[in-house]
Structure 1
């Protein structure tokens, strides 16, 4: 089977770092997505990398627009149309945050946008890209050259957050963001249950918690985070990629942090 990878979105932040990490440490084709200007995103992703540029395809995709997700999936079907092509690694990482500190700060439009981006967006990605995952009946014999650096089990990883854990919630606040990420954890578990039937041990799903990363999403909170707990995006990308390869099928359906520790539901 011929594997490929998907990182969506990959124009900035953790997604950008993950895409470059996959390009640098694997040999398989990579599909990245950007909400706008895919040509610029491709140039940025390739800058300074000594790789075959033909390995990277950047597609336009907006998780708020299902038609764009459907179109991107159709493009991938044209790119990877052989019977043994399959999606070996997917990072689905859209995110937006409105930090409501009290109920009085909740705004319906902001909350709706949070759920559409953080929760419904990944759900629609699973809808349109899950057909690319290997089925239970698929042969596990794979081209060693293309599998180098990739997880041995086809893995779909969706970005969650520790604040999405109900059991770990001791501070409150961030109502819409917390709820949207709790929803992500439920979606991942439900999708993994589907994969247990459809793919057996050929495919699995997990959620990821990256910690507080120096990206635009968290910029307003950098001053309140201890320096040793504020992570560089490239470092986090390396850690998350390693976690993906280490947890194995025993860790499927769960949320894992950057240090390989399980985040409770």
Structure 2
């Protein structure tokens, strides 16, 4: 089995840190995506890393444009043409947030964009990239390229603790909370499909990264305790470790950066 990895998008924030972490800790090929500026993103991803830059393939992908997702999948199908070249690790991490504090602040266009980005985008990536995951008869890992990757072919989609209905004690953030709750349902539904299509060879999980020091969360840093505001490189390290260790028993669930389950 010759594995490869996938991070979308990888142009900034957690996705950028995850792509660099995978390049640093594995020897497998990595496909990273961005909406624009692919050449400059590639340079930044490789900057300071002592790795074979031929491992990194940059592809254009916009989660709001299914054609671009289909085109990226077609490019991967051409690049990884043999059955033994399977997608072993995928991080799907698009995100947008409009922090509505009251119902009066809900805007239909913003809410729709939130769902298109946070939920429908990952759904379409699953649609076009799920065929690359391991099948029931796929080989298990063991090659040099498999080192550092999860033993089970894994599609990890970025969720959030605020997507948990049982954990919702504060309210607010209507569209973001709802979109992430929908991500958890998406992960579970897709994992049920994988049970049939792949058995124990492939799983789907959700991830909660905590509050990370990125542009995405910048306006909320003031309300977070210092010890709970994480650097993206540290979070990337933790999330890769969680995915490597969650195992088939953890399939279909959402896991936080500390390897603890986030209940629905």
TM > 0.5 fold call = yes
- Measure the CA separation in 1 of the matches of 2:58 and 2:89: 16
1:224 alignment counterpart: 223
- Measure the CA separation in 2 of the matches of 1:61 and 1:98: 23
Deviation digits for residues 172-225 of structure 1, max 9, x if unmatched?
000000000000000000000000000001100100000000111110100111
2:50 alignment counterpart: 50
1:64 alignment counterpart: 64
Deviation digits for residues 139-168 of structure 1, max 9, x if unmatched?
32x442010000000011000000000000
1:182 alignment counterpart: 181
- Which consecutive unaligned segments of at least 5 residues does structure 2 have? none
- Which consecutive unaligned segments of at least 5 residues does structure 1 have? none
Structure 1 segments of 4+ aligned residues over 3 angstroms from their partners: none
The answer to whether structure 1 residue 245 and structure 2 residue 244 are counterparts is yes
Confirm or deny: 8 A CA contact 1:94 1:159 kept in the other structure: yes
The answer to whether structure 1 residue 86 and structure 2 residue 107 are counterparts is no
- Measure the CA separation in 1 of the matches of 2:35 and 2:42: 12
The answer to whether structure 1 residue 215 and structure 2 residue 214 are counterparts is yes
1:151 alignment counterpart: 150
The answer to whether structure 1 residue 161 and structure 2 residue 155 are counterparts is no
1:19 alignment counterpart: 19
The equivalences for 1:53-132 within 5 A come to 53-132=53-132
1:233 alignment counterpart: 232
- Measure the CA separation in 2 of the matches of 1:79 and 1:34: 18
Count of residues paired in the alignment: 264
The answer to whether structure 1 residue 137 and structure 2 residue 106 are counterparts is no
What TM-score results when the alignment is normalised by the length of structure 1? Answer: 0.99
The answer to whether structure 1 residue 262 and structure 2 residue 261 are counterparts is yes
- Measure the CA separation in 1 of the matches of 2:237 and 2:90: 15
- Measure the CA separation in 2 of the matches of 1:119 and 1:189: 13
Confirm or deny: 8 A CA contact 1:2 1:143 kept in the other structure: no
RMSD: 0.6
